[in-house]
Amino acid sequence: MTAVQSTQIQLVSRPTGWPTHENFRTVTVELPELEPGQVRVVNEFVSVDPYMRGRMNDVKSYVPPFALNETMTGGAVGRVVESTSDEHPVGSLVSHQLGWRDVAQADAAQFRVMEALDGVPSSAYLGILGMTALTAYVGLQDIAHLRDGDVVFVSGAAGAVGSAVGQIARILGASRVIGSAGSAEKVELLTSKYGFDAAFDYKQGSVREQLAEAAPDGIDVYFDNVGGDHLEAALAEFRDGGRAALCGAISQYNTEGPTPGPNNMANIVTRGLSLVGFTVGNYLDRFPSFAQEMGTWLREGRVQFDETVVDGIENTVDAFLGMLRGENTGKMVVRVGTGS
Amino acid sequence: MTAVQSTQIQLVSRPTGWPTHENFRTVTVELPELEPGQVRVVNEFVSVDPYMRGRMNDVKSYVPPFALNETMTGGAVGRVVESTSDEHPVGSLVSHQLGWRDVAQADAAQFRVMEALDGVPSSAYLGILGMTALTAYVGLQDIAHLRDGDVVFVSGAAGAVGSAVGQIARILGASRVIGSAGSAEKVELLTSKYGFDAAFDYKQGSVREQLAEAAPDGIDVYFDNVGGDHLEAALAEFRDGGRAALCGAISQYNTEGPTPGPNNMANIVTRGLSLVGFTVGNYLDRFPSFAQEMGTWLREGRVQFDETVVDGIENTVDAFLGMLRGENTGKMVVRVGTGS
């Protein structure tokens, strides 16, 4: 039997500002034979996500930073090709967190067997059926305590998380859903495909003015993927008792040095607002109820999703950088080998 | 019978930056005879509070701004001198919100009869037994969800709210209570009288560095009376899951134009923090349980309090300005006439 090789992408230095190819290296390693209880998986798709930029910094966080000179971890889906675990038969579709590699091999407990849904590509388990949409689900319900009739604003709304937020908010009773995105095409998609009531291009004017126009009666919930002037605009437009779920601040991930916060923090007191940050990894106990509800919504055609697919594990860094620049619509994934 | 006069202080223009005497005027009005169901009260003490500065601005808020050319409203305590209400007999001690005047007259429903506690001055119903300490009680429990063993940081800790926060936090199970104040005397008071474990003078160095030193293992709860660099320091020192109750931002009430927010808002996401603003007026349903618990704590000698008393209704504006400058220790009140 020929040795099996795995191509993997490692972080070798911590980016200052925008990451570059110099921060990564590609290595090819020979995998040892499986040990008892281990599984070998050929990946179909690996995930590139905004939060990964944050974990490249060496800062105190819920989740420790990525280790240098080790393979980038993160979401991936693939097929079991060799197994010593009864619960992971060859051919099973599995998801895991072993990240940027074409072949993954580890203890069986690292792999979760997924029930493939008809007509849904395996990449969906990284997006609309995975951590991405779980983030939207948890942020709206557990963090922002979405209530019937709420006006909801989502930034980065054409992204994987944002587009799920808008649609889930509507299903769960929001009276009006407003989104911001970074191009005319994305803005069009928000209203035509994802059912947003209003959308605007944050590059074409003041976020604050455009939000005020889109939400003449104010907002109740803000789902923040962007930070910066978007958060400031939301603080300006909140009604009394407004709630912000802070998921990420992609506008600031690559700035060097501290960035001033919103200039209207006083509204938090006078309007009784709440700003709550979260990391989906602390809410994995919500996955089962999420997976059941989202499966139903997908089958009923109530949720739409997009993917931007980049081919080849060797292009993972480019996919990651493109996602940070907003070149994706919906979930950005890397197709590995024969992923389908 | 001679007509009864009431001396009252009115807001006549909205301050820009620091208020001045020009923003107010003193008027003396003759009170009409009582109508059925009305009560006349000679005040003993009237309250000057930080939140009043915010309400002098014409901004959207839970609570509408103070009306121009009307008497300033706010907490006050006095004795009923004339009454057509069976529930408010002459001689009763009452608290009310009719504000900066020496004699108050209105429908009986505006006055709450207080049960006088032995050895407690009536001014206490504006502070440790009133809205002030209710603010501390609600902020710690309903807003910051104080838990057993939490490390708590309070800014403006020698103020009326802050000194109550520190002591209530300790009673409710905080493992360590840290306060900041604006003079060496106040810092000394925090540790010697109010039982704080550590305290520092924010005028004597970086808040961030002094907090880091006082809380080497980080903080879980921050009660914010100050805003600005204090909030930034708290965001820097929060442990995962930290909770801030935002009560006011006295450092910013008198600045002109918008002030940049904390430069480390990203920590809200990475550490799963929550920042929640509140106005005590929305939590008046908590008054009965507060009054009962605080009454017990006072009788047991577990809570200490200070007052800074300014004499004479005509000096109310000076008392208010002095409080904004931090000249008070504990609750700042104005003694009216024979208040005792």
Query: pLDDT (tens digit, 9 = 90+) per residue, A123-143?
Result: 999 999 999 999 999 999 999
From A183-197, B172-186, B241-255, the region with the lowest mean pLDDT: B241-255
Sequence-distant (6+) residues with CB within 8 A of B19 are B53, B56, B254, B317, B320, B321, B324
pLDDT at A340: 47
Three-state secondary structure call for residue B318 = helix
Q: Which two tokens stand for residue A156?
A: 């980065």
With a cut of 90, say whether residue B123 has pLDDT above it: yes
Asked if residue B299 is part of any domain, the answer here is: no
pLDDT at A254: 67
Report the alpha-carbon distance of residue B150 to residue A229 in Å, rounded: 33
Give the best residue of B57, B142, B256, B268 to mutate against chain A (max A CB count within 10 A). B268
According to DSSP, the residues that pair with B28 across neighbouring strands are B7
The CATH number of the domain holding residue B26 is 3.90.180.10
Q: Among A63, A227, A274, select the one facing B276 at the smallest CB separation.
A: A274
What are the pLDDT digits (tens) for B5-20?
Answer: 999 999 999 999 899 9
What are the pLDDT digits (tens) for A97-127?
Answer: 999 999 999 999 999 998 877 888 999 999 9
Q: Which two tokens stand for residue B217?
A: 């293992």
For the sheet with B4-11, list strands across it: B24-31, B4-11, B70-71
Query: Cβ of A261 and B262 within 8 Å?
Result: yes
Q: Among B263, B266, B274, select the one facing A276 at the smallest CB separation.
A: B274
Report the alpha-carbon distance of residue A311 to residue A280 in Å, rounded: 27
Q: What is the mean pLDDT of residues B264-285?
A: 93
With a cut of 90, say whether residue A235 has pLDDT above it: yes
With a cut of 80, say whether residue A51 has pLDDT above it: yes
Report the alpha-carbon distance of residue B274 to residue B292 in Å, rounded: 29
Query: Cβ of B61 and A246 within 8 Å?
Result: no
pLDDT at A251: 67
Please provide the average confidence, as pLDDT, over all residues in chain B. 93
Chain B environment of A271 (Cβ under 8 Å): 60-62, 277
**Positive or negative: CA dihedral A51, A57, A61, A66:** positive
Residue B60 pLDDT class (50, 70, 90 cuts) = low
Q: Among B252, B260, B269, select the one facing A277 at the smallest CB separation.
A: B269
Chain A environment of B62 (Cβ under 8 Å): 240, 270-272
Instruction: Find the DSSP H helices in chain B.
Output: 51-55, 131-138, 160-171, 184-192, 207-214, 229-237, 266-270, 287-299, 316-324
Asked if residue A295 is part of any domain, the answer here is: no
Report the alpha-carbon distance of residue B140 to residue B286 in Å, rounded: 12
Query: Cβ of B276 and A271 within 8 Å?
Result: no
Chain A environment of B215 (Cβ under 8 Å): none
The CATH number of the domain holding residue B139 is 3.40.50.720
pLDDT at A262: 94
pLDDT at B248: 80
Which of B310, B309, B307 is CA-nearest to residue B330?
A: B307
| CB distance A187 to A199 below 8 Å | yes
Residue B251 pLDDT class (50, 70, 90 cuts) = low
Same domain, A138 and A123: no
Q: What is the mean pLDDT of residues A90-95?
A: 95
What are the pLDDT digits (tens) for A256-265?
Answer: 777 889 999 9
Report the alpha-carbon distance of residue B258 to residue A263 in Å, rounded: 5
What are the pLDDT digits (tens) for B95-118?
Answer: 999 999 999 999 999 999 988 778
Q: Among B54, B62, B261, select the one facing A261 at the smallest CB separation.
A: B261
Chain A environment of B262 (Cβ under 8 Å): 261, 265
From A227-236, A245-254, A278-287, B117-126, the region with the lowest mean pLDDT: A245-254
Integer Rg of chain B from CA: 20
Query: Cβ of B275 and A276 within 8 Å?
Result: yes
Same domain, B256 and B213: yes
Same domain, B159 and B103: no
Shortest CA distance from B263: residue in chain A: A260
Same domain, A228 and A147: yes
> Which residue type occupies A297?
W
In this structure, what DSSP letter does residue B34 have? P
Q: What is the mean pLDDT of residues B306-318?
A: 96
Report the alpha-carbon distance of residue A310 to residue A313 in Å, rounded: 9
Range of the domain at B241: 131-281
Give the best residue of A254, A267, A268, A278 to mutate against chain B (max B CB count within 10 A). A268
Same domain, A115 and A242: no
How many Å separate Cα B250 from the centre of its chain? 11
Report the alpha-carbon distance of residue A272 to residue A260 in Å, rounded: 22
| CB distance A219 to A271 below 8 Å | no
Asked if residue A314 is part of any domain, the answer here is: yes
Same domain, A27 and A118: yes
Same domain, B181 and B208: yes
Same domain, B88 and B144: no
Full DSSP string of B224-286? ESS-THHHHHHHHHEEEEEEEEE---TTTTT-SS---B-TTTHHHHHTT-EEEE--GGGGGGG
Asked if residue A298 is part of any domain, the answer here is: no
Asked if residue B239 is part of any domain, the answer here is: yes
| CB distance A251 to A228 below 8 Å | yes
Shortest CA distance from A264: residue in chain B: B258
β-strands A219-224, A151-154 pairing: parallel
The angle formed by the CA atoms of residues B62, B63 and B68, to the nearest 5 degrees, is 145
Query: Cβ of B264 and A258 within 8 Å?
Result: yes
Phi/psi for B240 (5° steps) reads: -55, 135
pLDDT at A36: 94
Instruction: Find the DSSP H helices in chain A.
Output: 51-55, 131-138, 160-171, 184-192, 207-214, 229-237, 266-270, 287-299, 316-324
Which of A281, A324, A145 is CA-nearest to residue A221?
A: A145
| CB distance A179 to A166 below 8 Å | yes
Q: How many residues does chain B have?
A: 340
| CB distance B233 to B155 below 8 Å | no
Residue B64 pLDDT class (50, 70, 90 cuts) = confident
**E-strand stretches of chain A:** 4-11, 24-31, 38-47, 70-71, 76-83, 93-96, 103-107, 112-113, 151-154, 176-181, 198-201, 219-224, 238-246, 274-277, 307-311, 331-335
pLDDT at B340: 47
Q: What is the mean pLDDT of residues A228-246?
A: 96
Q: What is the mean pLDDT of residues B263-286?
A: 93
Shortest CA distance from B258: residue in chain A: A263
Last residue of a domain, one of B281, B297, B327: B281
Q: Is B312 left (phi over 0), alpha (psi -120 to 50) or beta?
A: left
Question: Considering its fold, how many domains does chain B have in total?
Answer: 2
Q: What is the mean pLDDT of residues B300-315?
A: 95
Same domain, A97 and A226: no
Residue A60 pLDDT class (50, 70, 90 cuts) = low
Query: Cβ of B269 and A246 within 8 Å?
Result: yes
The rounded percent of chain B whose pLDDT value lies above 90 is: 83
Asked if residue B296 is part of any domain, the answer here is: no
Sequence-distant (6+) residues with CB within 8 A of B306 are B163, B189, B193, B329, B330, B331
pLDDT at B59: 76
First and final C-alpha spacing in chain B: 27
Same domain, A137 and A271: yes
Report the alpha-carbon distance of residue A95 to residue A125 in Å, rounded: 7
Residue B67 pLDDT class (50, 70, 90 cuts) = very high
Asked if residue B288 is part of any domain, the answer here is: no
CA distance A41 to chain B (A): 31
With a cut of 90, say whether residue A3 has pLDDT above it: no
Asked if residue B18 is part of any domain, the answer here is: yes
Same domain, B97 and B152: no
Sequence-distant (6+) residues with CB within 8 A of B131 are B47, B49, B75, B280
Report the alpha-carbon distance of residue A303 to residue A170 in Å, rounded: 10
With a cut of 50, say whether residue B181 has pLDDT above it: yes
Same domain, A97 and A23: yes
